[in-house]
Amino acid sequence: MPVAPARRIAFEVLRRVEAEGAYASDLLHAELGAHAAPSFKSEDAALATELTLGVLRRRRLLDFLLARQLKKPAQKLDLPVLLALRMGLYQLRFLQRIPAYAVVNESAELVKLAKKSSAATLVNAVLRRAAEEVNKSSEEFLPQNLPLAERLGILHSHPTWFVERWLARLGEAQSLSLLEANNRTPRLSCVLHYSSLSKGLTLGDPPSPDDMFAVLEESGLRIEPGLLLKNAFVVTGGSPTRVDLFRKGLLSIQDEASQIIPLLLDVRPNDTVLDLCAAPGGKTAPLVRAAGNGGLVVAADRHAHRLRAMRSQFKRLALARVQLIELDAAQSLPFRQTFNRILVDAPCSGTGTLARHPEIRWRLRPEQLAEFHVLGVALLKNALAQLAPGGRLVYSTCSLEPEENEEVVADVLRDTPSIRRVTVHNAARALAPHLASRAEVESLFDAAGNFRTSPADLPTDGFFAAVLEKP
């Protein structure tokens, strides 16, 4: 029995995520791009994505349920066998529209393709037994008197230490909302660049947003308005990367909360702008557009290969007015001039993106939060040294953890009392021209004046940003 292309792709991506430490979203983008021929349907791409990310999101629960059938920890199996079992059980429990016999047979074929034919009988037997239990709640199989963090960690597939932290800080109800949100498929949010030129298109010069939405819908995509921003929209029914508008640089894929971060800088025409830790460049692009022809935008990153990817991205977006520099911003910065706008989008744990990048939850270690704190402090201090009087700086992460967010800002402000926070009123005023009519801007800031989103509250990634200024 041949294995469907979607399952082959998911199996190989999962193998590389586990064996090589690769990131599923990057691998899926490359694999699905390579299979973009008409014979590979959008339904196949959707199934490959669902299987890959679904298995990563539910990994702990899947292994717990498999261990019941195996009578030993699932992690002791050879990796190809374990992945075939995880994929099979995920389909049986969470994609019940797929017939059980097809799931069992193709899972056995996967281990044969991986040259583990001797394990095909095991895979067949385990999944047949699991298929008989799919209508039973996973909670029925938990031991009695299991601590709350352990129980929630198994049922919602998060490390127990994550759950313990969130329970202590957020309480049970909010933690449960966050755990559930992290296991949902995130919305595919996009942003329009309708001020760009429409080279090679027949929509006029430039096309209006309505024109572009019409083109997207004609290609079979379904469009919904964004929740927070006027230029944001949500796509379902396929990938916008296959549409000519994307290739022409008239739209990009970017979470709505991420889109807001550069807007907080309130860049004006002719501003000098420094974007540290800039790759992959999604936040750099609006800074370049806002600074205009008379502005200066310097985008820095410590990884040369990521800068090369940024150049390719900026070519698609027809952005030439940006200088890319390779440097480690945790060290003293080499610039003689100061900048009146600086973005520090700091490397972080990424706990605000666990639905989009589920492998993070299995890789992150508790001690890394302290390491990210030290890095964040160094980045922010170095950036503030380059901020011109009267200038504005935004420090941001896609983390939910205090060590990487407010504790970094508090430590730095303690040592640099001349720096002050921008008031919520002034920060919100920078966002006002960009917000959708139904967005409640005050709800995006906490009592201390920090911008903050959480997947527990909004269908976005979790972001933090502090807006600072130098008198």
Residue 137 scores a pLDDT above 60: yes
59 DSSP assignment? H
How far from 87 is each of 98, 99, 133, 144, 272, CA to CA, in Å?
Answer: 12, 14, 16, 28, 50
Mean pLDDT across 353-374: 98
Rounded Cα–Cα distance for residues 152 and 64 (Å): 13
Contact 82, 75 (CB under 8 A): yes
Span 20-36, pLDDT tens digits: 999 999 999 888 876 65
To the query of whether residue 398 is one of the catalytic residues in this protein, the response is: yes
Please provide the average confidence, as pLDDT, over all residues in the chain.
92
Q: In the chain, where does the domain assigned CATH 1.10.940.10 lie?
A: 5-141
Mean pLDDT of 186-209: 64
Question: What pLDDT score was predicted for residue 206?
Answer: 56
Q: Would you state the pLDDT for residue 36?
A: 58
Section 331-348 average pLDDT: 97
Q: Output the pLDDT for position 414.
A: 96
Q: Work out the pLDDT band at 210, boundaries 50, 70, 90.
A: confident
Which residue type sits at 311?
R
Residue-wise over 337-362: b if at least 16 C-beta within 10 A, else e?
eebbbbbbbbbbbbbbbbbbbbbbbe
The span from the CA of 212 to the CA of 216, in Å, is 6
Which residues touch 380 (CB under 8 Å, ≥6 apart)?
A: 344, 346, 395, 408, 409, 412
**CA distance linking residue 247 with residue 231, whole number of Å:** 18
pTM as predicted: 0.93
Q: What distance lies between CA 66 and its chain's CA centroid?
A: 28
Helix, strand, coil % in the chain, rounded to nearest 5: 50, 15, 35
d(CA 2, CA 113): 10
- DSSP H helical ranges for 392-444: 406-415, 424-431
Kindly report, residue by residue over 213-236, the tens digit of the pLDDT: 898 999 889 999 999 999 899 999
pLDDT at 2 over 60: yes
Mean pLDDT of 465-471: 97
Helix (H, G, I), strand (E, B) or coil at 27: helix
* pLDDT over 90 (residue 208): no
Residue 200 has pLDDT above 80, yes or no: no
Residue from 190, 277, 348, 398 carrying the catalytic annotation: 398
DSSP per-residue codes, 146-198 = --HHHHHHHHTT--HHHHHHHHHHH-HHHHHHHHHHHTSPPPEEEEE-TTS--
pLDDT band at 322 (very low <50, low <70, confident <90, very high): very high
Average pLDDT over residues 319-335: 94
Secondary-structure class of domain 264-469 per CATH: alpha beta
Residues 254-267, mean pLDDT to the nearest whole number: 97
Q: In this structure, what are the phi and psi dihedrals at residue 324, rounded to the nearest 5 degrees?
A: -100, 130
Q: Looking at residue 454, what is its pLDDT? A: 97
Closest CA to 148 of 6, 111, 156, 46: 156
Distance from C-alpha of 467 to C-alpha of 145, rounded to nearest angstrom: 45
Got the DSSP string for 108-131? HHHHHHTT-GGGHHHHHHHHHHHH
Distance spanning both ends of the chain, measured CA to CA: 70
pLDDT digits (tens, 9 = 90+) for 58-99: 999 999 999 988 977 888 899 999 999 999 999 999 998 889
Contact 407, 373 (CB under 8 A): yes
Mean per-residue pLDDT, 374-384: 98
Q: Where in the chain is the domain with CATH 3.40.50.150?
A: 264-469
Q: Give the pLDDT score at 198.
A: 38
Question: What value does the CA radius of gyration of the chain take, rounded to a whole number of Å?
Answer: 24
For residue 181, pLDDT over 80 is answered with yes
The pLDDT confidence band at residue 199, using thresholds 50, 70 and 90, is: very low
What whole-number distance in Å separates Cα of residue 392 and Cα of residue 267? Answer: 9
Superfamily of domain 188-253: Sun protein; domain 3 (3.30.70.1170)
Q: Tens digits of per-residue pLDDT, 402-453?
A: 999 999 999 999 999 999 999 999 999 999 999 998 888 888 999 899 999 9
CATH 3.30.70.1170 residue spans of the chain: 188-253
Which numeric CATH code is attached to 5-141?
Answer: 1.10.940.10
Separation in Å, CA 420 to CA 50, 168, 415: 45, 30, 12
pLDDT average, residue stretch 264-292: 96
- As a whole number, mean pLDDT of residues 240-247 equals 88
Is 277 exposed, middle or buried, given 0-12, 13-18 or 19+ CB atoms closer than 10 A? buried
Calculate mean pLDDT across residues 324-334. 96
User: Are the beta carbons of 153 and 172 closer than 8 angstroms?
Assistant: no
Residue 379: half-sphere exposure toward Cβ, Cα within 13 Å: 33
